[in-house]
Amino acid sequence: MARKLLLEHINVPGINTLDVYRQKGGYRSVEKALKTLSPDDVVEEVKKSGLRGRGGAGFPTGMKWSFLAKPEGVARYLVCNADESEPGTFKDRYLMTHIPHALIEGMIVSSYALGAKTSYIYVRGEMMPQIRILEKAIAEAKNAGFLGKNILGSGYDLELYVQPGGGAYICGEETALLESLEGKRGNPRIKPPFPAIAGLYGCPTVVNNVESIAAVVPIINDGGEEYAKVGIGRSTGTKLISASGNLVRPGVYEIELGLPVEEFIYSDEYCGGIANGKRLKATVAGGSSVPVLPANLTLKLANGDPRLMSYESLSEGGFATGTMMGSGGFIAFDEDQCIVRNTWNFSRFYHHESCGQCSPCREGTGWMEKVLHRIEHGHGKMSDIDLLVDVSKKIEGNTICPLGDAAAWPVASAIRHFRDEFEWHVREPQKSQQTNYGIARYAEPIVSGLKQEN
Amino acid sequence: MLKVEETQPVEFSPALKAKFAEISSRYPEGKQKSALLPILHEVQAELGWLSANAMDQVAAWLKIEPIEVYEVASFYSMYFLRPQGKYVLEVCRTGPCCLVGAEKVMAHIEHKLGVKENEVTADGLFSWRGVECLAACGFGPVLQIGPEYTFYENLDEQKVDTLLEELRKK
Ligand SMILES: Cc1cc2nc3c(=O)[nH]c(=O)nc-3n(C[C@H](O)[C@H](O)[C@H](O)COP(=O)(O)O)c2cc1C
Ligand code: SF4
Ligand code: FES
């Protein structure tokens, strides 16, 4: 069994309550940090751990923390990003539902490290049940003296609040999130200044993902060096992977970074293979924003070596033959799925979620949706395919926030790897309405060792 | 687009106003506008949707301009700017759920309720709409029902039928 640092006690009855959570060693990191470590010591341990942000960008958490400005007499804030709206991602909801205290504990230690006296957990509004769960957990923690004034006699004060969003994917982008938390529309801000200098209410602010903050707990308990021993290379620690699509056992899995992708998909410890005895056609390995990969490039690098679940290995080959870790939303497509239809669906999503501030994103996402809609519904022209590539290129890199790129990459990669299928939709408008293209031809040669054993 | 409907005047109950005050206390002095999104959720939970009158009252309570409330209410997808059915079935229509049958579930709901997306059934009980990924992709197809946002997972036609029956009996 692989090491579990976040979900070890997930199946313990009552682990959502403070009592059971503490029986399992909960809140040790708060005692350790507040009684024996200075805030800078905590930052140092997080640096040593090599932890990289789990919200999507993978930026080293310790480094981000050390950028926080500390002007005299100005409040500093820690804001937890629990907006989780990236299609294919559902790990944060899972963690908050089952082990809410892991997040609260992480928030206390992280707030202490950053010198924040008030911290917020911004939860997407649809997660009302999780908001209630967190509020209850906060009340329990406060009762036990882990929150409020003079925590554990250390002289450190902290108030922690849960803030609901209003239903908008863009509010996962950290500056849009801050706007939303200030009671405004979720329009991303132009950077710089970065939140570390001017964030919430113009004050220095750190925004971190739920999983990043929960990971601070084992880092402080065991030490940053111990944490860094788990994983592979610069991909240290464990990662929660949300597995969805045509899998035997979709769900949330904690993996040690470096696990072979093939083992993740096919072994019984994880997803148990492709559902209904079908073959794997493609995957989107890190949430809807990252490039789609055909089955052969999912399982193996271009040079034939196995591909691993790590930041480096998933992006090996760049966008020509690789993808990205993203938020760890792993979506599997079986041989019956239509790449054109899914690409259209994702485009519709990004068009719907564009905040509308920049014209390349606002207009480009709408245009891509429209063109993909006509190809999928049998009215496409051959020139539409290059038109899509052209539009995606014009969005990429020309927008205020990365949503533009996130909308462009899935389209560009789908055409890069599955152009045959797009062309077939144009050539066979009737047939493409009745049947699917099936598995991509280059997916055939993969002979999976694990698959044969099973 | 914000469509301003003619409505009855709105008066918030003392209990609701107490809730507003509790929410506002979570933010530093002078930053009470931060309470806007949570307050709108409270109002919608009480009234079922956000009428122009209700939004004006929220603006007055927070001491901000009505436009500041309208622009927020129209930006976020969870706020209803017109009346809905008692139960709004919000079905995830995004990629991962479609891989496991979300489109079939939506077609079935449309057929069973006999109303199109965003329309209300004649008895006022139901409306439905497609929404984007609800962070439950591994348990799809999935739908939610406000105001407490209860989740119904791994849906198929049969489960939808059972759910509709249960809601009708309530
Ligand atoms: C369009 C968009 C949506 C995002 N959604 C989320 C999200 O739902 N949750 C999240 O943690 N980060 C999200 N991010 C990334 C955040 O901007 C930010 O990088 C992250 O919260 C930082 O936390 P981390 O360093 O712990 O990963 C999103 C970014 C973009 C551009
Ligand atoms: S890229 Fe899109 S979502 Fe981001 S700021 Fe511009 S218009 Fe808004
Ligand atoms: S795609 Fe339906 S919940 Fe994520």
Per-residue pLDDT of chain A (454 residues; tens, 9 = 90+): 688 999 999 999 999 999 999 999 999 999 999 999 999 999 999 999 999 999 999 999 999 999 999 999 999 999 999 999 999 999 999 999 999 999 999 999 999 999 999 999 999 999 999 999 999 999 999 999 999 999 999 999 999 999 999 999 999 999 999 999 999 999 999 999 999 999 999 999 999 999 999 999 999 999 999 999 999 999 999 999 999 999 999 999 999 999 999 999 999 999 999 999 999 999 999 999 999 999 999 999 999 999 999 999 999 999 999 999 999 999 999 999 999 999 999 999 999 999 999 999 999 999 999 999 999 999 999 999 999 999 999 999 999 999 999 999 999 999 999 999 999 999 999 999 998 998 866 544 444 444 433 3
A163 in contact with B, Cβ within 8 Å = yes
Residue carrying the six token digits 């199946």: A11
From the list A93, A159, A201, which residue is nearest B136 (CB)?
A93
Instruction: Provide DSSP, A352-412.
Output: HH--S-SHHHHHHHHHHHHHHHHHHTT---HHHHHHHHHHHHHHTT-SSSTHHHHHHHHHH
Give the pLDDT confidence score for residue A34 in this predicted structure: 98
From the list B68, B93, B95, which residue is nearest A288 (CB)?
B95
Q: A168-182: string of b/e by CB count within 10 Å (b at 16+)?
A: bbbbbbbbbbbbbbb
Indicate whether this complex's ipTM tops 0.90. yes
Phi, psi dihedrals of residue B129, rounded to the nearest 5°: -160, 160
Whether residues B95 and A163 touch (CB distance < 8 A) is answered with: no
> Using CA atoms, how far apart are residues B59 and A144, in angstroms rounded to an integer?
38
Task: Using an 8 Å CB-CB cutoff, list chain B residues near A245.
Answer: 96, 99-100, 137
Q: At what angle do helices A359-376 and A382-395 cross, to 10 degrees?
A: 160
Give the pLDDT confidence score for residue A357 in this predicted structure: 96
Residue whose CB lies within 8 A of the most ligand 2 atoms, among A179, A358, A368, A395, for a mutation test = A358
Task: Using an 8 Å CB-CB cutoff, list chain B residues near A185.
Answer: 71-72, 75
Atom of ligand 1 lying closest to residue A213 CA: 26
Whether residues B135 and A127 touch (CB distance < 8 A) is answered with: yes
Q: Choose from B99, B104, B106, B152 for mutation: most chain A CBs within 10 A.
A: B99
Whether residues B133 and A86 touch (CB distance < 8 A) is answered with: yes
B97: nearest CA in chain A?
A245
Give the pLDDT confidence score for residue A396 in this predicted structure: 94
Please give the distance of CA A358 from its chain centroid, rounded to a whole number: 24
Instruction: Provide DSSP, A128-188.
Output: HHHHHHHHHHHHHHHHTTSSBSSGGGSS--BEEEEEE--S-GGGGSHHHHHHHHTTS--PP
Whether residues A118 and B147 touch (CB distance < 8 A) is answered with: no
Give the pLDDT confidence score for residue A454 in this predicted structure: 34
Task: Using an 8 Å CB-CB cutoff, list chain A residues near B147.
Answer: 128
- Whole-prediction pTM value? 0.96
Whether residues A92 and B135 touch (CB distance < 8 A) is answered with: yes
What ligand is nearest to the CA atom of residue B94?
A: 3
Give the pLDDT confidence score for residue B6 in this predicted structure: 56
From the list A88, A125, A184, which residue is nearest B96 (CB)?
A88
Q: Choose from B37, B76, B151 for mutation: most chain A CBs within 10 A.
A: B37
Q: Choose from A76, A84, A85, A90 for mutation: most chain B CBs within 10 A.
A: A90
Q: Tell me if B97 CB under 6 Å of ligand 3.
A: yes
> Using CA atoms, how far apart are residues A165 and A263, in angstroms rounded to an integer?
37
State the distance from the centre of ligand 3 to the C-alpha of A340, rounded, in angstroms. 18
- The CA distance from B97 to the nearest CA of chain A, in Å, is 7
From the list B28, B37, B148, which residue is nearest A128 (CB)?
B148
Whether residues B34 and A181 touch (CB distance < 8 A) is answered with: yes
Give the pLDDT confidence score for residue B5 in this predicted structure: 54
A243: nearest CA in chain B?
B138
Pocket of ligand 2 (CB under 6 A): A 170, 188, 354-358, 361-362, 399-401, 403-404
Name the helix (H) or strand (E) containing A239: strand A238-245
3-state helix, strand, coil in chain B (%, to 5): 50, 10, 40
Give the pLDDT confidence score for residue A445 in this predicted structure: 42
Give the pLDDT confidence score for residue B3 in this predicted structure: 47
Pocket of ligand 1 (CB under 6 A): A 53-57, 59, 61, 81, 83-86, 170, 172-174, 207-209, 212, 401-403, 406
> Using CA atoms, how far apart are residues B136 and A100, in angstroms rounded to an integer?
17
> Using CA atoms, how far apart are residues A121 and A200, in angstroms rounded to an integer?
13
Q: At what angle do helices A382-395 and A403-427 cross, to 10 degrees?
A: 170
Q: Choose from A205, A244, A283 for mutation: most chain B CBs within 10 A.
A: A244
In tens digits, what is the pLDDT along chain B, a chain of 170 residues? Answer: 344 455 678 899 999 999 999 999 999 999 999 999 999 999 999 999 999 999 999 999 999 999 999 999 999 999 999 999 999 999 999 999 999 999 999 999 999 999 999 999 999 999 999 999 999 999 999 999 998 999 999 999 999 999 999 999 98
From the list B38, B71, B136, which residue is nearest A164 (CB)?
B38
CB pairs under 8 A between A and B: 149
Please answer whether residues A199 and A116 qualify as being in contact, where contact means their C-beta atoms are separated by less than 8 angstroms: no
State the distance from the centre of ligand 2 to the C-alpha of A27, rounded, in angstroms. 39
Whether residues B75 and A185 touch (CB distance < 8 A) is answered with: yes
> Using CA atoms, how far apart are residues A87 and A306, in angstroms rounded to an integer?
26
A125 in contact with B, Cβ within 8 Å = yes
Q: Tell me if B94 CB under 6 Å of ligand 3.
A: yes
Q: Tell me if A87 CB under 6 Å of ligand 3.
A: yes
A353: nearest CA in chain B?
B132
Q: Which of residues 196-235 of A touch B (CB under 8 A)?
A: 201
Give the pLDDT confidence score for residue A149 in this predicted structure: 97
State the distance from the centre of ligand 2 to the C-alpha of A284, rounded, in angstroms. 22
Please, where are the H alpha helices in A206-338? 210-222, 224-229, 261-266, 295-299, 311-315, 318-321
> Using CA atoms, how far apart are residues A274 and A267, in angstroms rounded to an integer?
10
> Using CA atoms, how far apart are residues A350 and A343, in angstroms rounded to an integer?
11
